Amino acid sequence: MSESKLSPLLGTRDLVLHIWPKHQNLLSFDPSSVAALLYLQLVLPGHFAIAYCANPDLSPSGQLPFLTHGLFHASGLSAIVAYVRRLPNARNLDAGLSPVEVAQLTARVAHVDSSYGDLVNHMLYSLHENWSDVTRPALISMLPVPQRYYVPARIRASHQTRLEAVELWDVPEVEEEPEEQRRVVFGKRKKHRPDPEAHHFKKAFEREKVVEKARAFFDVYERLLGDRQFFTGSERPTTLDVIFAAHTHMLVDIRLPDPW
């Protein structure tokens, strides 16, 4: 209560969701933050608060999004979903599904989270143009002064292991004219060397592989959705719809200089 000397927020019983801040049209800068936001809005409309937080170290596991409810905390999307599902006034999104369908839903959620998440991270962090024109300035604008000089590079490096393991990291992009301006050094313009033939071939091949991966993934979900409004044919969106929509929102609503 109020006689404690602890921070006033600790005494509240409100549900607070901490997510990455907004940028341009995006609801938040990270697909799992967007997914957590959409999920809470569908399950507990009006009963929670959002706190935009750009410091992942505040979270108990070091990653955003995380949820605090009084003295309880849950970090990461799956923990948030599991906790909120058990609250008394929460609507159950997966109510109309049979146990087998719920099992299939778990698998599909994992599939979307891993494959689609890789594609989104690839677009934001791996492609050099997107990184330097969109992602990095966005991160810099969200972070306070000492962190903005070294944290974006660390965030990018942290995605490297995973993207290298799925072969989505080192994809060369299309060379364009604006590349020339960055090479002006001390007033002298470096000569733009034409690439040898082998390099052209490698570029086309690598991009083609990524497009193939994306196409295979989207074909699966296009077939699953068909003409219906939501993935499982029910009247209300389920957890799978929420996660898929969050990743699609990231890709569709941000203007990237190197689109596929």
Among 9, 10, 49, 82, binds other proteins (CB under 8 A): 82
Q: How many CB atoms lie within 10 A of CB 236?
A: 15
Residues in region 219-238 near other proteins by CB under 8 A: 220, 223-224
Distance CA 111, CA 119 (A): 12
Distance CA 120, CA 139 (A): 16
Partnered with residue 101 across adjacent β-strands are none
Site track 148-187 with other proteins (rule: CB under 8 A), x = hit: ---x--xx-xxx-xx-xx----------------------
* Helix runs in 25-95, H state only: 31-43, 77-85
Tell me the window of 38-46, 98-106, 179-187, 244-252 that interacts with other proteins (CB under 8 A): 98-106
Minimum distance from residue 186 beta carbon to other proteins (Å): 31
Minimum distance from residue 219 beta carbon to other proteins (Å): 8
What is the b/e burial string over 42-66, where b = at least 16 CB atoms within 10 angstroms of the residue's CB? bbeeeebebeebbebeebeeeebbb
Among 61, 92, 141, 229, binds other proteins (CB under 8 A): 61
Distance CA 94, CA 248 (A): 21
Tell me the window of 88-96, 183-191, 217-225, 250-258 that interacts with other proteins (CB under 8 A): 217-225
Q: Strand order of the sheet with strand 66-69? A: 48-52, 15-19, 66-69, 72-75
Among 16, 79, 225, 251, binds other proteins (CB under 8 A): 79
Minimum CB distance to other proteins smaller for 12 or for 114:
114
Q: 187 in the Ramachandran plot: left (φ > 0), alpha (ψ -120 to 50) or beta?
A: left
Among 12, 49, 51, 57, binds other proteins (CB under 8 A): 57
Applying CB under 8 A, the residues found at the interface with other proteins are 32, 55-57, 61-63, 75-76, 78-79, 82, 99-100, 102-104, 106-108, 110-111, 113-115, 117-118, 147, 151, 154-155, 157-159, 161-162, 164-165, 220, 223-224
